[in-house]
Amino acid sequence: MSVVDRSIVLIGFMGTGKSSVGRRLALSRGWPRLDTDAMIAAAVRMRISEIFERLGQERFREEESAMLAKIDATQRAVIITGGGAILRPENRVRLHVLGTVFCLTATLSTLLERLGRRSDRPLLQTEDPAATVENLLRKREPLYRETADFTIDTTGMSHDQVANAIEDCLARAA
Ligand code: S3P
């Protein structure tokens, strides 16, 4: 199957715009949008923050892997993952089976600015969220890099521009 026809998988740190960009791509392609966080919340019947609080991060990671395993790899879709989906090796393999993997990135200051606008991310409920972001990024960057087929730096870009950049990338790779 040509790269243009494969599902599009979005990975990347919290605040890189995966959900908004994924929504635009799903609309323009006319493909279903599969947002693993939303699917987990629906399956467990709790908000993500509640899952972390009441059941713990490990249980969330179990649900995340189970959800990725359950997605039909033969159906084309735009698949939006949570920022930690790349943590487990089996997920990293699975993401490639599911489609072409795009990693969205942004500079640290852009991420902090975007993440500061919302307070519902369980991993950032710490005394020093900026230090937490830096620390998580440092640990995860190699995994994002290893997993991505393509990386798009979204700093200074609108969601539409990022979606267009992904389409351009696929057109060039076809
Ligand atoms: C997480 C990112 C969140 C969500 C959960 C854990 C992470 O998704 O899956 O809070 O480990 O980075 P977003 O990247 O959509 O915020």
Verify whether ligand 1 is closer than 6 Å to residue 123 (CB atom): yes
Q: Is the whole model's pTM more than 0.95, yes or no? A: yes
Max distance between CA atoms of the chain, in angstroms, equals 48
SS3 per residue for 109-169: HHHHHHHCCCCCCHHHCCCCHHHHHHHHHHHHHHHHHHHCCEEEECCCCCHHHHHHHHHHH
Work out the average pLDDT over 115-121. 86
Q: To the nearest whole percent, how much of the chain has pLDDT over 90?
A: 94
Residue 169 clears pLDDT 80, i.e. is over it: yes
Beta-ladder partners of 101: 9
Contacts 24+ apart (CB under 8 A), 107-114: 107/153, 107/155, 108/133, 108/134, 108/137, 110/15, 110/154, 110/155, 110/156, 111/13, 111/14, 111/15, 111/16, 111/137, 114/15, 114/17
| Centroid of ligand 1 to alpha carbon of 1 (angstroms) | 30
CA distance 163 to 173: 16
Selection from 103, 86, 84 nearest residue 94 by Cα: 86
Mutate to test the pocket of ligand 1, among 62, 121, 125, 134 (most ligand atoms within 8 A of CB): 121
Query: Please, which pLDDT band fits residue 1 given cuts at 50, 70 and 90?
Result: confident
Q: Is 121 in the pocket of ligand 1 (CB under 6 A)?
A: yes
The span from the CA of 44 to the CA of 41, in Å, is 5
- Ligand 1 within 6 A of 12 CB? no
